[in-house]
């Protein structure tokens, strides 16, 4: 934390907030009076006083103060009960909505998020937009019957494939027919890495990977045979932008609040579909990058400066361990892989690196004492910014 910024972590479900006054705000004199009012916190010193005014609609109960402690190098910590009025949600129409793109039948444009290159043919028009089942549905089919039969085995072996005018939507990707892809703008290449079986889908302009090819047939090929061309293309929502009509796509910076929200919403949907809070994150060649534990409580982070600047955002709070780290992490990884309540998430390598980068950068924005918990790092992904106003 820099300067005299007051940090506030609000747990909306329990109506409580954790306040951290940084060292700079109270200098080194721990006996300086800190006054808590319903609408502000005041820190008095010999040079005057610093006033942290809460935004309109946010109030605290001064007599509910608890957990008061001083941490060297961090500041003064305290917990207070809070009252917060719900704001009217304001949605920004930037082509990347909070819950992911709202894809509907009709003229649809999908573009590379890095450079804005169009990925689908200009003539592509979706006649059907259908949801995909959650990952692991084949295993669910196998466990849904008390005995094996040719019908259940055939059902579990089926591959879901879109028709030429279909878009199949999943929690983190969409499936389109290979003939819908704009061949002048997209390359479908076999990876030089033998551990990656699926062909890679790359943007020809910036060479970023936007998806993978999906073989829809049942034919198997040996290493000496020519691989079967993909019948469908899986495009990752974290690497593309989606527009409801033909338009010029604008590039999105790799480390942007928009991508934060997309990754957060994907994790929430995966958690709901797989009924789990813990995940192993790996790339397409099964190299593990993260162990993640989602904290589903509604969390809001707020920073307030004495000058009246307030920043407020809803976040998905996450405990995580990056890999490789140490022997303890490896043992924990083995136990998580054996646990049926732990989900598996596979992303392209660059998406895994972006996720690690996002979490690490947000970890360093927290007060030092709040950056770790039970040997896990504490990070978050931004869900949305909350409009605020200052009480004068």
Burial of 288 by CB count in 10 Å (0-12 exposed, 13-18 middle, 19+ buried)?
buried
Q: Is the pLDDT of residue 314 over 80?
A: yes
For residue 87, the model assigns a pLDDT of 56
Q: Is the pLDDT of residue 166 over 70?
A: yes
For residue 8, the model assigns a pLDDT of 96
For residue 223, the model assigns a pLDDT of 45
More confident residue, 340 or 87: 340
Rank 49-63, 84-98, 144-158, 263-277 by mean pLDDT and report only the highest: 49-63
Residue 293 sits at φ, ψ, to 5 deg, of: -125, 110
3-class secondary-structure state, position 191? coil
Residue tagged 């931004």 (tokens): 382
Q: How far apart are CA 126 and CA 367, in angstroms?
A: 48
For residue 1, the model assigns a pLDDT of 40
Those residues whose C-beta lies under 8 Å from the C-beta of residue 120, and which sit 6 or more positions away, are 108, 109, 110, 176, 180, 181, 182
The pLDDT-based confidence of 359 (bands split at 50, 70, 90) is very high
Tell me the pLDDT tens digit for each residue of 189-211: 887 777 777 888 999 998 888 99
Tokens, residue 389: 């106003």
Those residues whose C-beta lies under 8 Å from the C-beta of residue 118, and which sit 6 or more positions away, are 109, 110, 111, 182, 185, 249
Q: Is the pLDDT of residue 177 over 50?
A: yes
Q: How far apart are CA 103 and CA 240, in angstroms?
A: 13
Q: How far apart are CA 121 and CA 259, in angstroms?
A: 25
CB 379 within 8 A of CB 363: yes
For residue 224, the model assigns a pLDDT of 44
Q: How far apart are CA 54 and CA 305, in angstroms?
A: 10
Looking only at the bridges linking them, the beta strands covering 278-282 and 342-346 are parallel
- Could you tell me which of 215, 207, 161, 166 has the C-alpha nearest to residue 187? 207
For residue 43, the model assigns a pLDDT of 84
For residue 135, the model assigns a pLDDT of 56
User: Half-sphere exposure of 345 toward its Cβ, with a 13 Å CA cutoff?
Assistant: 30
CATH class as words, domain 106-243: mainly beta
More confident residue, 342 or 95: 342
Which of these ranges, 136-150, 255-269, 278-292, has the smallest mean pLDDT? 136-150
Mean pLDDT of the chain: 80
Give how far the C-alpha of residue 294 lies from the chain's centroid of Cα atoms, to the nearest Å. 10
Q: Angle, to 10 degrees, between the axis of helix 349-363 and the axis of helix 257-274?
A: 110
Those residues whose C-beta lies under 8 Å from the C-beta of residue 94, and which sit 6 or more positions away, are 258
More confident residue, 32 or 235: 235
3-class secondary-structure state, position 246? coil
Which of these ranges, 59-63, 138-142, 238-242, 313-317, has the smallest mean pLDDT? 138-142
For residue 98, the model assigns a pLDDT of 46
For the chain, the domains span 6-88+258-385, 106-243
Tell me the pLDDT tens digit for each residue of 69-117: 888 878 889 999 999 876 544 444 433 344 457 788 888 889 988 888 8
Tell me the pLDDT tens digit for each residue of 44-62: 876 678 899 999 889 999 9
């Amino acid at each position: 934390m820099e300067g005299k910024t007051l940090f506030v972590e609000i747990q909306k479900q329990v109506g409580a907030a954790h306040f951290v006054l940084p060292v700079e705000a109270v200098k080194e004199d721990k006996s300086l009076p800190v006054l808590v009012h319903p609408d502000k916190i005041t820190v008095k010193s010999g040079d005057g006083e610093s006033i942290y005014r809460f935004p309109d609609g946010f109030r605290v109960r001064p007599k509910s103060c608890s957990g008061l402690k001083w941490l060297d190098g961090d500041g003064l910590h305290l917990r207070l009960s809070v009252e917060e009025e719900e704001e009217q949600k304001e949605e920004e129409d930037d082509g990347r909505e909070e819950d992911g793109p709202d894809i509907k039948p009709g003229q649809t444009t999908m573009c590379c998020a890095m450079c804005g290159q169009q990925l689908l043919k200009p003539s592509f028009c979706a006649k059907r937009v259908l949801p995909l089942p959650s990952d692991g549905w084949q295993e669910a089919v196998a466990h849904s019957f008390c005995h094996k039969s040719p019908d259940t085995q055939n059902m579990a072996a089926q591959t879901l494939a879109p028709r030429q005018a279909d878009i199949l939507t999943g929690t983190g990707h969409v499936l389109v027919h290979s003939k819908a892809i704009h061949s002048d703008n997209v390359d479908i290449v076999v990876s030089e890495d033998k551990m990656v079986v699926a062909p890679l889908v790359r943007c020809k302009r910036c060479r970023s990977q936007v998806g993978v090819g999906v073989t829809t047939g049942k034919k198997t090929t040996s290493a000496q045979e020519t691989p079967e061309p993909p019948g469908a293309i899986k495009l990752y929502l974290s690497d593309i932008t989606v527009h409801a009509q033909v338009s010029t796509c604008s590039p999105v910076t790799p480390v942007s609040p928009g991508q934060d929200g997309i990754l957060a919403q994907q994790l929430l949907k995966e958690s709901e579909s797989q009924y789990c809070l813990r995940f192993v994150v790996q790339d397409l060649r099964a190299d593990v990058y993260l162990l993640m534990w989602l904290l589903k409580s509604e969390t809001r982070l707020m920073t307030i400066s004495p000058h009246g600047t307030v920043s407020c955002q809803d976040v998905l709070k996450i405990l995580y361990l990056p890999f490789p780290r140490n022997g303890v992490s490896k043992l924990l990884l083995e136990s998580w892989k054996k646990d049926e309540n732990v989900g598996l998430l596979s992303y392209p390598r660059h998406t895994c690196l972006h996720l690690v980068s996002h979490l690490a950068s947000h970890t360093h924005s927290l007060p030092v004492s709040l950056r770790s918990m039970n040997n896990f790092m504490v990070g978050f992904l931004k869900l949305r910014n909350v409009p605020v106003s200052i009480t004068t």
